[in-house]
Every structure is written in C-alpha cells, then in structure tokens.
Structure 1
C-alpha cells in the first residue's frame, strides 16, 4: 500500500465522519443558538432549559437521519474491506 492510497483512505474516512456527524451537530448548534437567543430576550438563565430541546432535537435527528448515516458507514466499511482483501 502506497502513501497516496493511505492518504486517500484517510481523506475518505474524514469525509465520512463529516457527512455522518455533521447534520446532527449542526442541528444541535442551531437549536442551542435559538434557545440562547430566547433566553437572552426573556432573561431566563436556567441551564436545563437549553439542554432539553437540544437532546430532543438530537434524538429526533438521529431517528430521521439514522438510515442515511448507517448507509454511509456501511458503504465506507465495505470499501475498506475491499481494500483490505485486495492487499
């Protein structure tokens, strides 16, 4: 295995990580920002108030995007196994 092939696998792994984890992290970020703006506007500074909507949004996004995420991970794993079997 050459260095270029190893770097290609590493690049593919990073892209898969970003593709799988990115939407869930982005949803948590947006929900956290919205809740923070609402807390600042209403001057309610309760820490648990920002936690519950984020947890619900992340769980909901995992339910909705779970199939997409699993398919990406399976495709990447199959590609890695093909590369390993070709060595």
Structure 2
C-alpha cells in the first residue's frame, strides 16, 4: 500500500465523518439559534427551553437521516474491503 492510497482512504473516511457531523449537528445548531433569539427577545432564561428542542431535533435528525448515514458507512466499508487486493498489490 502506497502512502497515496493510505491518504486517499483517510481523506474518504474523514470526509464521511465531517458529513455525518454536519447532518446530525447542523439542524440542532439552527434550532438552538432560533431558541436563543426567542429567549433574547422575550428575556426568558430557562435552560431546559434551550436544551429540549435541540435534543429532540437531533434525535429526529438521527431517526430520519440514520438509514442514509448507515448506507454511506456501508458504501465506504464495501469500497475499502473490495479494493483490498488492488491496494495491496
């Protein structure tokens, strides 16, 4: 295995990780921003008002995007395993 192949595998895995983090955390960040704006406008400083919507949004995102994310992981793993003879030789 050449260093170029190892770096390419690392790049693919790192891109997949970043994509998964953005898909899972992104909606929670947007909801957190909306809740923060609402709290600033109404001067309500309740911690659970900030935490619960973000938690529910993140859980719903995992439920709905989970199959797609799992398929992406499976595609990467299949590609790595299938290309073992090519990468070694």
Q: Deviations over 1:22-78 (max 9, x none)?
A: 111110110110000000001011111111000110111111111110000101111
1:65 aligns with 2:65: yes
| 4+ residue segments displaced more than 2 Å | 82-87
TM-score (norm 1): 0.91
Q: Pairwise CA RMSD of aligned residues?
A: 1.2
- Name 2:44's counterpart in structure 1: 44
Structure 1 residue 82 displacement after superposition: 2.2
Q: Number of residues paired by the alignment?
A: 87
Unaligned 5+ segments in structure 2 are: none
| Cα distance, 1:85 vs structure 2 | 4.7
Structure 1 spans left out of the alignment, 5+ residues: none
TM-score by length of 2: 0.89
Match runs of 1:1-87 below 5 Å: 1-86=1-86, 87=88
